[in-house]
Each structure stands twice: as C-alpha cells, then as structure tokens.
Amino acid sequence: MPDQMIQTSDSAPVATSPAEAPMRSLKVLLAGPRGFCAGVDRAIRVVEEAIRRYGAPVYVRHEIVHNRTVVEELEAQGAIFVEELDEVPADAHVVFSAHGVPKTVPAEAERRNLLYLDATCPLVSKVHREAERHFADGGPESRHILMIGHAGHPEVVGTMGQLPAGAVTLINDAEEARTVQPADPARLAFITQTTLSVDDTAEIVEILRRRFPLIEGPKREDICYATTNRQEAVKAIAPGCDLVIVIGSPNSSNSQRLREVAERSGAPRALLVPRLSNLDWSVLEGVNTLGITAGASAPEALVQEMVTALAKHFSLEIEERTVKEENVTFRLPAPLG
Ligand code: SF4
C-alpha cells in the first residue's frame, strides 16, 4: 500500500512572530498498526460493561491490561484492582485480566461464591486448550510440554497453571532450548506466549525442532496477530528513523518487544515511554526523523497526546505507514455478550 501522508491540524507549524526563530523541522513516522488489539479492547469493555450492569465497585484481579492510563481510567469508573482473590469481599463481582489465570483462580472464586467474569483474551485461551490437548489428561497419549515464554509473566503463569505442576517446562531463551533435557524426547510438544519477539521465537522453535524432530506444536508459533503486525510495522519504519518511541508500559511484554525489534531493525535508538509526561525532551536533540508506535495495551489517545505536544515544539511532517489493516473484534464473554 502506498504511504499515506497525514498533516493534522495539530501538526501544522505554529505561527511565529518575525523576531522568533522558526521551529526546527521534525519528520514523524507513525507505525500502523499500533496500539490496542482486539483482546485488550474486549477486556476493557468487559470491565466497563460489568460496572454498567452490576454497579460499582467491580473488582479486577491484576491490571486488566498492562497500561497505567487504562487502569486509572477504569478506577475512575469504579473498578478496584487487586492482586489476589483474598482481597475481594464475598458476593462481589470480579474480572480476570486479559492475560489469563491458572485454573486454581476460578476454582477459588467458585469456592468463595464470587461472581467472576473471565476477560482472558480468546487467543490466550486457545493456547490453554492446546496445552490441555497435548497433556491429554496425563494418559498414554500425553506429551510433556515446553512453553516458550518469560518467567513470571502473568500469561505464562496462567498458561502453565492450566496443567498439573511438572507437566510444562518453561523455555526462556535459545540457550535453554539448547540445553533442556526432557525425560522422553519422543513425546514432546511446544506452545508459546502470545507476545514474544517473532524472530527470537522462530530461532527457539528451530532449535527445538532440530533437537526433537518428533515434537508437536502449532505450524509456526502461538504469537498472536496483533503482536506480529505491530512488530512488522515497527520494522518498516525503524531503518529510516533516528529514534523510535514506543508508547507503552514497562511491564507490557509486547511493548518491550517492540522496542527491541525497533533497535534490531535499524533504529539507532528506541525508547519505551509510558506517556508524554514521561518524555525526556533532550532525547530529541539531533533527531530529524522520529518513529512512533504503541504497544497493544496503549490507547491511541496517548499517541495523539505525544504528537500534539511535538507539534508545539517542532514544525512537523507526519507520515503514517500502515503495513496491514486489522479488523479483528472479539465478542464479550457470557453473561455479558
Ligand atoms: S496481544 Fe494478542 S493475545 Fe494479547 S490480548 Fe492482544 S490479541 Fe490477545
């Protein structure tokens, strides 16, 4: 698709008096797609709809998505965020986050008669079902599972928690793929976290397939469409940029990966910036072309906030580069759907 030129009213050079020096020019390349994915959009709608139907407060176990701005906006509507269910009072409504939860969490909610709504992204739930299929109830068809992902990330905790302890071994990186020693190399399967680096994961999968030719797994990996598209989009802009800013939270896995992918794809520097108020303006010194993208949990309003502020300091030329159109939406879970 040809590049689309956008010159917003915000980006128009601000008039200066004859005495003032003209503003320095700055080209901004906006990566597309960027920002909210269908799973994040659905998780936020689950909380909003729960508050609308049942009234505030509605409890949310863990940050619904990894973005402080989203969390604060939902808090203002009546959501209360907790880390564990024992912080939720009896008879309250509680929502589980988009990252998914171990099976012990809904079991505990049922034991305590809590009214729970599961906002787990359907693409994460799909990986849960894959894991269960490979485990096959621990029977004669059961395969030991290697999960490619990052230790401690809630999605990894949730996916490993679909099966009994010991059924899944976590593979954090290529080195662990090279050295893992499964008990039965002929009965293995792999699954992956949905928000990994596409390139790193392809390398790890290749190592596993080479070492264990009988390993079963998805055709490529479980990385979701949104993670893949956002990495492709940042790869498309990075080589032409002096700096890439990824708008996203430090605990957002897909935002962190976007920053890494930008640097590996040719940007001399890439920074993760939660929002405009966290921007150190000195990083823009000497920057002529700035790339901007946003992680899957970062609202587009934060991108626009950044662009609007830039337009007050620079004469902007804004170019949007979209590598793929997205039209994925997910229905709300029962009983909200
Ligand atoms: S990043 Fe992917 S897996 Fe995660 S919530 Fe978004 S669509 Fe779902």
Q: Where along the chain do its domains lie?
A: 25-37+225-322, 38-121, 123-211
Residue owning the nearest CA to atom 7 of ligand 1: 39
Answer yes or no: is 99 a known binding residue.
yes
73 a catalytic residue: no
pTM: 0.92
Q: Which residues line ligand 1 (CB under 6 A)?
A: 37-40, 98, 121, 123-124, 194-195, 224, 226-227, 254, 296
- Contact call for residues 120 and 162 (beta carbons, < 8 A): no
**What CATH class is the domain 123-211?**
alpha beta
What is the model's pLDDT at position 22? Answer: 81
What is the model's pLDDT at position 10? Answer: 39
Same topology, domains 25-37+225-322 and 123-211? Answer is yes
Tell whether the model's pLDDT for residue 29 goes beyond 70: yes
Q: Which atom of ligand 1 is nearest to the CA of 98?
A: 5
When the pLDDT of each residue in the chain is averaged and rounded to a whole number, the result is 93
Spell out the long-range contacts of 261-264 with Cβ–Cβ below 8 A and sequence spacing 24 or more: 261/197, 261/199, 261/231, 261/234, 261/235, 262/234, 262/235, 262/238, 262/291, 262/293, 263/238, 264/199
Instruction: Ligand 1 pocket test: pick from 47, 227, 258 the residue with the most ligand atoms within 8 Å of its Cβ.
Output: 227
- Give the tens place of pLDDT for each residue, 34-62: 999 999 999 999 999 999 999 999 999 99
Q: Is the model more confident about 7 or about 246? A: 246
Rounded mean pLDDT, 148-160: 97
Give me the catalytic one of 63, 130, 155, 221.
155
Tell whether the model's pLDDT for residue 4 goes beyond 50: no
Q: Which CATH architecture has domain 38-121?
A: 3-Layer(aba) Sandwich (3.40)
Per-residue confidence band for 266, with pLDDT thresholds at 50, 70 and 90:
very high
Q: Give the DSSP letter string of 115-181.
A: EEEE---HHHHHHHHHHHHHHGGGSTT--EEEEES-TT-HHHHHHHTTS-TTSEEEE-SHHHHHH--
Residue type (1 letter), 158? G
Rounded mean pLDDT, 176-184: 98
Give 123 Cα–ligand 1 centroid separation in angstroms: 6
The tokens for 185 are 């190399």
CATH code for the domain defined by 25-37+225-322: 3.40.1010.20
Q: Which of 177, 199, 172 is nearest to 188 (CA)?
A: 177
Residues ≥6 apart with Cβ < 8 Å to 130: 189, 191, 218, 222
Q: Give the whole-angstrom CA distance, residue 159 versus residue 148.
A: 11
Per-residue confidence band for 20, with pLDDT thresholds at 50, 70 and 90:
low
Q: How many CB atoms lie within 10 A of CB 11?
A: 18
Tell whether the model's pLDDT for residue 337 goes beyond 90: no
The tokens for 1 are 């698709």
Q: What percent of the chain has pLDDT over 90?
A: 91
